[in-house]
Amino acid sequence: MLAAREVVVRFGERTVLDRVSLEVATGEVVALLGPSGVGKSTLLRVLAGLLVADGGSVWLDDRDITDLPSHRRNIGLVFQDEQLFPHLTVAQNVGFGLRMRRSDRAAVAARVDELLVLVGLPEFGQRSVVTLSGGEAKRVALARSLAPRPAVLLLDEPLTGLDRDLHDRLVGELADVLRATGTTALLVTHDHDEAAAIATRTITL
Amino acid sequence: MDRDRAALNRLPRWLVPALAALPVMGLGVFFAWPLGTLLARVVRPSSVVDALRTPGLGGVLWFTLWQAVASTVLTLVAGFAPAYLLARYRFAGRRALMALVTVPFMLPTVVVGAAFLALLPQSWHGTGRAVVLAHVFFNIAVVVRLVGALWAVLPADLTAAARTLGASRTQVLRHVVLPLLRPALWAAATVVFLFTFTAFGTVRLLGGAANPTLEVEIARRATQLGDVDGAAVLSVLQLVALATVVWWSSRWQRRAAVPFDAPVGARRARSRNERRLLLFGAGATAAVMATPLLVMVSRSFRLGGAWSLRGWRTLSTAEVRPGLSLGVDPLASLTASLRFALVAATVAVVAGGLAAFAITSARRHGRWLDVGLMLPLGTSAVTIGLGLLITFDSAPFDWRAEWWLIPVGHALVATPFVVRALLPVLRSIPADQRAAAAVLGASPLRAWWAIDVRRLAGPLLGSAGLAAAISLGEFGATTFLTRAGRDTMPISIARLLARTGEVPRAQGFALATVLLVATATVIVLADRRGVLDVGRA
Amino acid sequence: MSVVRRSRRRSIRRPIAVGLALALVATIAACGDDSSPSTDPAAITLVAYDSFPKADTPLNEALAEFTANTGIAVSVVSAGDTGTMVTKAALTAGNPEGDVMWGVDNTWLSAALDGTIFDGDPAQVDFGDVCLNYDIAWFAERSLAPPATLDDLLLPEYADLLVVQNPGSSSPGLAFLLATVAEYGPDGWRSYWTALRDNGVEVVDSWDIAYYERFSGAAGSDGPKPLVVSYASSPPAEVLFADPPRNDAPTGVVPATCFRQVEYAGVLRGTDHPTEAGQLLEFLQSQRFQQELPLTLFVYPIDPATPLPDAFTQFSVIADNPYTVEPAVIAANREQWQDQWTEIVLR
């Protein structure tokens, strides 16, 4: 279970997050809704350890992880602009998290294949990420985040900016993948329909 | 400024000192220490006053300054279009054109200078404008490479977005492209300014007797008048002036740095207009850069007003004809040059790579290292050479007769180039790349390794090639060190060209052609992984 | 830190990395051998200017004979041009870079002596004259006799025909200036140069620009000027290095304009091998060594009895009464004279 308790973030004069609390229970897929600029992405970054808050705390399964660096939290994050590593292939991107945990090669290869199949890109391992289309890139980003089996997966507007058909297709696929892997997830979006389709619960900030 | 928002994922504190240790030590031992020793040994308060009271010093300073500024501005302007063409378009002969543009920069003036001079009308000989023109020719590579490297990673969509908002092409250039290119423009301007301010061969050859710069004056004092303390004082004056310029400009480079996402890479020309533009631009650049080189090469085939291969046929031995030998073994000097280049490139890449990482990781304090590494470029080779001579003259530092001092001297000059080439690339990596690695379980150190270091593999190799090419053509520092064993090619060429007689002269130009080809080959090989294509693995 | 360095090599493609690493190791090993400072007690170093050959010439063969006869190995190091060489020696006096120095000329002798770089007196080892050279064919075509003295250069028929080098940057340029000082005295030389400037003298920065770009007599040159300041050994060199070979010299020397440059060699103060150095110095003055000087360094042996190659006797002259200036006088005044010359001629 992931919890934010009384998180405060101020940028200069502006208070972006004012004692915000939320909880995501294990197995839940929670959608965080709200208009642009309200602080949703900021909250995600605090949860991921990428941003230090001015007040409050972050808890994971009864452990206070507020001061824990990102790489030890086992909390994944799918970025809005994917942030794939351009100098690595698709397979190398997807297997990155496992290699960081020093899994052996065979295990990594197997898991990479498994995930590529899961996101519908079975033959894409050796491709260079610079050549991927928008939809393919998003799928690879998702696969990459899921590969190391994070305790919680955060998604920062993962499907924003796609055309309607692709968007709708990916919404369904994302919902399926999250359910199939039993991932606990917190999804930030401004699209109510998207939230309804993917999430088990919706919060508005 | 707010608290440190990324405090949880900071790199370990020992990383920057560890990275910076080697380059700082190298700079300290082989630059600061010799310079300090020389100053301590020869400078007295009276010599400072005397040197500064030299008649005509004001005029020399003024000329040095204006020709450097003019050269810098004109080189930036001249190199802008070639940088664009080479960075954004893929076309047949692209690498050859890049090598052609780069080669004059690497070659010593003694090699191409006479050919360049011969192409100018007589009324231009011995004038300041000839000096400026020559500087543009020799330094255009700096602009093309440094600006081109950043231009290559500008997302194409930015200009497209501006166009759709109604901006004309000029407005796009002014309001979108130029501001984004600013760090590279400043970097290129700094390097060109440094080079033109401290230029020696070009100034003497093209400016003639009436147009000395500070560097020429320093060399004259040290080697013509035996006035080492005066030379040392002027050298410090020069160094302080240049250090100030570099310090101030590095501010602009950092402030203006904007991170970009994964680059799209160069593309082929699409429309007919684009193709025509490309053909014209590339063709004009190639013609301008190639002409002096071709003149130089043609001189190796001319003997007594007729075409002959004699200069080439005698190249493999030191003998001109039976019993008549010059003691210059051209092919042996080729081997000597290549060996030195290999060592110098290794040292420069290791030191420069470590320094580039240290500078980007150290945020504010990185500037000190950045400026420090540029200082050897702003110091007269005369003072460095003399300093090395009197510093390393007794055990346990009795190194002045060691062969490796020469490639170390080359590396002092080449390292700043490696750093200059790598910094914009490193700074263009978006912060979120490291964040992505962090949330995948990479500790800050491993993230740094996997992102920053791995992404730099290609550019590092390219920089090694540049460092090797710089070493091949290095003349100033090398002449100033006392040399045992085989001379390098530039030294041998200078010796051949200084002899009376057409055969040695033709040999000199033939060896110069060999140097030209060797340098061009190294550059082409270094660019194979694409110095400008940073997106590729 | 070693992790960083080692792994960076791994990121390069492996075979290339291995190949380059091997080349590097081989280089270091080989370069180390080339110039290893000898711990052998009978090995000394000769410090000379850049144009002194380090290998492959008869001069070096003579040195090899010296080694064979005495067991003393000699390695030659290049220390730059003469001025640079002397400056370095003065800075390292007492802890020199080598054991014997070759090539201090009379314009530098005073500085060398003041810097106490030598152990004992240096010895004269060769001389060369800096003289006016003229293009024989050019004058013959116009049925004009070439100038015979320095005064002649001021005559209207020789206007705009002469190219000289800046004495501040060129050794022959300085020598020519000193010749005029010797002829017209320390006060009169200035008015000579004013007149020379008015008669259209061209000034360039270095000898090779003057000789190869501006002088019409140099083989392969398109230069327009038939008069240049160069060496007495230039015409023989033109003959010897001509292609195709020739039997006549294209240029001649004007003996009445020659300035004598004498070169000295000496044992350096502070050497670890004074006895061996002394032996080498003697050998450098011996005929066995001296006879190789003309064809290698294009200077004349100091002993007039040494046989000269034909090209030298046929195509050049040794001036009977060349101009000279005392080394001490040169040292005391050279900077001032150069500055005054610049004022008169260049501004």
Distances (CA, A) of A158 to A23, A72, A80, B184, B496: 20, 23, 5, 34, 68
Determine the Cα–Cα distance for residues B377 and B384; give it in Å rounded to an integer.
10
C199 vs B180, higher pLDDT: C199
Which residues in chain B have their CB less than 8 angstroms from residue C32's CB? 403
Which residues sit opposite C124 in a β-bridge?
C264
Judgement on whether residues C270 and C243 belong to the same structural domain of the protein: no
> For the residues A127-138, what does the mean pLDDT come to?
89
Q: Given an 8 Å threshold on Cβ–Cβ distance, is A12 in contact with B2?
A: yes
Q: What are the start-end ranges of the E strands in A14-132?
A: 14-24, 29-33, 55-60, 63-64, 75-78
Determine the Cα–Cα distance for residues B316 and B58; give it in Å rounded to an integer.
49
Which among C132, C113, C145 has a CA at the least distance from the CA of C179?
A: C132
Judgement on whether residues C77 and C139 belong to the same structural domain of the protein: no
Q: How many CB pairs under 8 A join A and B?
A: 114
**Among B42, B224, B298, which would you mutate to test the C interface (most chain C Cβ atoms within 10 Å of its Cβ)?**
B224
Q: For chain C, what is the domain count?
A: 2
- The pLDDT, as a whole number, for residue B459 is 79
- Note whether residue C18 is domain-resident: no
- The pLDDT, as a whole number, for residue C271 is 93
- Note whether residue C220 is domain-resident: yes
Which residues sit opposite C76 in a β-bridge?
C46
Q: Which of B212-226, B491-505, B515-529, C24-38 has the lowest mean pLDDT?
A: C24-38
**Among all residues of chain B, which has the CA nearest to that of C50?**
B495
Judgement on whether residues C200 and C215 belong to the same structural domain of the protein: yes
- Note whether residue C189 is domain-resident: yes
Q: pLDDT tens digits for C91-129? A: 898 899 999 999 999 989 998 998 899 999 999 999 999
Distances (CA, A) of B47 to B36, B42, B50, C112: 16, 9, 5, 20
Which among B462, B339, B348 has a CA at the least distance from the CA of B413?
A: B348
- Supply the DSSP string of B184-240, one letter for each residue: HHHHHHHHHHHHHHT--HHIIIII-TT---HHHHHHIIIIIS--HHHHHHHHHHHHH
Which residues sit opposite A84 in a β-bridge?
none
The percentage of residues in chain C with a pLDDT greater than 70, rounded to a whole number, is 92
Judgement on whether residues C246 and C272 belong to the same structural domain of the protein: no
C54 token code pair: 């380090």
Determine the structural domain holding residue C194 and report its residue range.
128-259+310-346
Q: pLDDT tens digits for C45-98? A: 999 998 899 988 899 999 999 999 999 999 999 998 898 999 999 989 889 999
């290559």: which residue's tokens?
Answer: B152
CB-based contact B201:C59 (threshold 8 Å): no
- The pLDDT, as a whole number, for residue A93 is 93
Main-chain dihedrals φ then ψ at residue A81, nearest 5 degrees = -105, 30
Label residue B536 by pLDDT band (50, 70, 90): very low
Secondary element (H or E) of residue B135: helix B128-151
| B223 class by beta-carbon count within 10 Å (0-12 exposed, 13-18 middle, 19+ buried) | buried
Which among C276, C285, C246, C251 has a CA at the least distance from the CA of C102?
A: C285
Does the beta carbon of C15 lie under 8 angstroms from any beta carbon of chain B? no
Judgement on whether residues C123 and C136 belong to the same structural domain of the protein: no
Indicate contact of C with A: 3+ CB pairs under 8 A: no
Q: Name which CATH class applies to B9-529.
A: mainly alpha
**Among A87, A94, A132, which would you mutate to test the B interface (most chain B Cβ atoms within 10 Å of its Cβ)?**
A87
Label residue B440 by pLDDT band (50, 70, 90): very high
> For the residues C246-270, what does the mean pLDDT come to?
94
Evaluate if residue B2 carries a pLDDT over 60.
no
Q: pLDDT tens digits for C200-232? A: 999 988 898 899 889 999 887 888 999 999 999
- CA angle (A134 as vertex; A129, A139 as ends), nearest 5: 70
Distances (CA, A) of B257 to B146, B157, B239, B425, B449: 14, 19, 27, 10, 21
**Among all residues of chain A, which has the CA nearest to that of B537?**
A87
Give me the torsion for CA of A132, A135, A141, A146, rounded to 10°. Answer: -130
Instruction: State the amino acid at position C55 in one-letter form.
Output: A
> For the residues A182-204, what does the mean pLDDT come to?
90
> For the residues B443-450, what does the mean pLDDT come to?
90
- Note whether residue A94 is domain-resident: yes
Q: Given an 8 Å threshold on Cβ–Cβ distance, is B500 in contact with C298?
A: yes
- Note whether residue A42 is domain-resident: no
Q: Which one of C30, C169, C241 has the shortest CB-CB distance to B500? A: C241
- The pLDDT, as a whole number, for residue A115 is 92
Q: Given an 8 Å threshold on Cβ–Cβ distance, is A100 in contact with B441?
A: yes
Q: pLDDT tens digits for B92-129? A: 888 899 999 999 998 888 788 878 888 888 888 888 99
Q: pLDDT tens digits for A142-179? A: 999 999 999 999 999 988 878 888 888 889 889 999 98
Determine the Cα–Cα distance for residues B426 and B429; give it in Å rounded to an integer.
6
Q: How many CB pairs under 8 A join B and C?
A: 233
- The pLDDT, as a whole number, for residue C7 is 39
Evaluate if residue A92 carries a pLDDT over 50.
yes
The percentage of residues in chain B with a pLDDT greater than 70, rounded to a whole number, is 94
**Among B2, B5, B261, B439, which would you mutate to test the A interface (most chain A Cβ atoms within 10 Å of its Cβ)?**
B439
Tell me how close the Cα of B457 comes to any Cα of chain C, in angstroms.
6
Q: pLDDT tens digits for C82-96? A: 989 999 999 898 899
- B/e letters for A124-156, b = 16+ CB within 10 Å, e = fewer, are bbebebbebeebbbbbbbbbbbbbbebebbbbb
Evaluate if residue C10 carries a pLDDT over 50.
no
**Among B454, B482, B499, which would you mutate to test the C interface (most chain C Cβ atoms within 10 Å of its Cβ)?**
B482
Q: For chain A, what is the domain count?
A: 1
Judgement on whether residues C198 and C63 belong to the same structural domain of the protein: no
Judgement on whether residues C192 and C88 belong to the same structural domain of the protein: no
* Residue A110: strand, helix, or coil: helix
Does the beta carbon of C336 lie under 8 angstroms from any beta carbon of chain B? no
Label residue B192 by pLDDT band (50, 70, 90): very high
Q: pLDDT tens digits for B329-377? A: 888 899 999 999 999 999 999 999 999 989 988 877 888 898 899 899 8
- Note whether residue A52 is domain-resident: no
- The pLDDT, as a whole number, for residue B530 is 56
Tell me how close the Cα of B433 comes to any Cα of chain A, in angstroms.
6
C280 token code pair: 């080498």
Asked if the ipTM is above 0.85, the reply is: yes
B62 vs C2, higher pLDDT: B62
Which among A146, A136, A140 has a CA at the least distance from the CA of A185?
A: A146
Evaluate if residue B318 carries a pLDDT over 70.
no
Q: Cα A53 vs. chain centroid, distance in angstroms?
A: 19
- Note whether residue C3 is domain-resident: no
CATH number of the domain where residue C123 is located? 3.40.190.10
Tell me how close the Cα of C279 comes to any Cα of chain B, in angstroms.
21
Main-chain dihedrals φ then ψ at residue C130, nearest 5 degrees = -100, 115
Determine the Cα–Cα distance for residues B14 and C294; give it in Å rounded to an integer.
64
Which residues sit opposite C126 in a β-bridge?
C263, C301
* Residue B89: strand, helix, or coil: strand
Q: Which one of B262, B441, B450 has the shortest CB-CB distance to A86? A: B262
Determine the Cα–Cα distance for residues C199 and C42; give it in Å rounded to an integer.
58
Q: Given an 8 Å threshold on Cβ–Cβ distance, is C77 in contact with B323?
A: no
Q: Taking all residues of chain B, what is their mean pLDDT, rounded to a whole number? A: 85
Q: Which residues contact B455 (CB under 8 A, 6 or more apart)?
A: A86, A87, B425, B429, B534
Main-chain dihedrals φ then ψ at residue C74, nearest 5 degrees = -120, 125
* Residue B173: strand, helix, or coil: helix
Determine the Cα–Cα distance for residues C161 and A146; give it in Å rounded to an integer.
86
Residue ranges of C 59-98 with Cβ closer than 8 A to chain B: 59-60, 75-81, 83-84, 86-88, 90-92, 95, 97
Judgement on whether residues C123 and C135 belong to the same structural domain of the protein: no
- Note whether residue C55 is domain-resident: yes
Label residue C39 by pLDDT band (50, 70, 90): low
In this complex, which chains have at least 3 CB pairs below 8 Å with chain C? B
- The pLDDT, as a whole number, for residue B256 is 54
> For the residues A39-50, what does the mean pLDDT come to?
91
Determine the structural domain holding residue A139 and report its residue range.
85-149
Q: In this structure, how many other beta carbons lie within 10 angstroms of the beta carbon of residue A56? A: 18
> For the residues C177-191, what does the mean pLDDT come to?
94
Indicate the domain borders of chain B: 9-529
Q: pLDDT tens digits for B79-97? A: 999 999 998 888 888 889 9
- The pLDDT, as a whole number, for residue C40 is 56
Determine the Cα–Cα distance for residues B262 and B453; give it in Å rounded to an integer.
16
Judgement on whether residues C171 and C254 belong to the same structural domain of the protein: yes
**Among all residues of chain B, which has the CA nearest to that of C81?**
B223
Q: Cα C85 vs. chain centroid, distance in angstroms?
A: 12
Evaluate if residue C12 carries a pLDDT over 50.
no
Determine the Cα–Cα distance for residues C9 and C163; give it in Å rounded to an integer.
56
Distances (CA, A) of B218 to A164, B34, B54, B384, B456: 71, 17, 12, 12, 39
Q: pLDDT tens digits for B401-433? A: 888 999 999 999 999 988 887 887 787 788 889
Label residue B183 by pLDDT band (50, 70, 90): confident
- Note whether residue C27 is domain-resident: no
Q: Which residues contact B530 (CB under 8 A, 6 or more apart)?
A: B458, B462, B536
Q: What is the largest CA-CA distance in chain B?
A: 80
> For the residues B252-273, what does the mean pLDDT come to?
67
